[in-house]
Amino acid sequence: MAILKIARMGHPILGMKSVPVEDPGAPEIRYFVDDMIDTLDDAGGVGLAAPQVHLPIRLVIFKVPDASAAAERYRAAGLEVGTEEIPLTVLMNPVIVAIGNETHAAYEGCLSIPDMSGEVHRPVHIRYSGIGLDGETIAREATGFHARVVQHECDHLDGILYPQRISDMRTFGYNDELRKSFVPKEEAEEDTP
Ligand code: NI
C-alpha cells in the first residue's frame, strides 16, 4: 500500500498511448491497483488512470459518489448527474461506444492539472465495457456525470488530457478565478431578457 506520485501536465507519459493489460489477473496488477486506490483516496478525485501514476497500461479506476463536489457542480449547472452511485470500479482494456449524437458541455478537472478546470463537450450517453479486477467482464450503460468520468479517464489511455477537448479556451482557468464568475445555468437563463 502506497501513495503514488501523480504526473502533471507536461510530463511526456501523459501524452503516450498506453498498452493493453496482458494478464488482468496478475498479482502485480492487484498490488498496483491497491496503490492507485490509496492515491485516489489521498488526492480526493473521482478517477485515476494508470499513466497518471507513470505506468502506461490500459487501466482506470473511478467511482461516482452521488454527493461529490463535481456532481454538485453538475447539478448547479442544470445538467443531469444520474441518480446512480457507482462504487469504485477497476476497468482494464476499456472500450467506449457513444449512444446517439447528443453531447453536453460541463466543466472538468484533472488530478494531473491541479486547481484548474475547463468546459468540455462529450457524448451524454455511452456504453462501456472492459475487464474488472477479478477477471469479470464489466459492461454498462452510463449517462451524465458517470459517462463523463469514464470518458475522461479512458482519454488518458490514449494520451489525451481534457484541455485538448476544450472548444472555447476562455472557459479554461484556475478554479478560484472561475468560481468568481460562475453563474449556474438556470440563473443565466432567467437573466436573459
Ligand atoms: Ni484526468
**How far, in Å, from the CA of 37 to the mean position of ligand 1?**
15
CA atoms of 193 and 190, how far apart (whole Å)? 8
**How far, in Å, from the CA of 51 to the mean position of ligand 1?**
10
Catalytic, out of 153, 186, 187, 190: 153
CB-neighbour burial class of residue 88 (10 A; exposed 0-12, middle 13-18, buried 19+): middle
User: In the annotation, is 190 catalytic?
Assistant: no
**How far, in Å, from the CA of 48 to the mean position of ligand 1?**
6
Read off the pTM: 0.89
Q: 12-180 sits in which CATH class? A: alpha beta
pLDDT at 179: 84
**How far, in Å, from the CA of 107 to the mean position of ligand 1?**
12
**How far, in Å, from the CA of 162 to the mean position of ligand 1?**
7
State the cell numbers at 169.
Answer: 479556451
* Every domain of the chain and the residues it spans: 12-180
CA atoms of 47 and 142, how far apart (whole Å)? 15
Judge contact between 153 and 60, C-beta under 8 A.
yes
Q: Is 72 left (phi over 0), alpha (psi -120 to 50) or beta?
A: alpha
pLDDT in tens, the chain (193 residues): 799 999 999 999 999 999 999 999 999 999 999 999 999 999 998 999 999 999 999 999 999 877 666 667 666 666 666 667 889 999 999 999 999 999 999 999 999 999 999 999 999 999 999 999 999 999 999 998 899 999 999 999 999 999 999 999 999 999 999 888 765 555 554 444 4
pLDDT at 132: 97
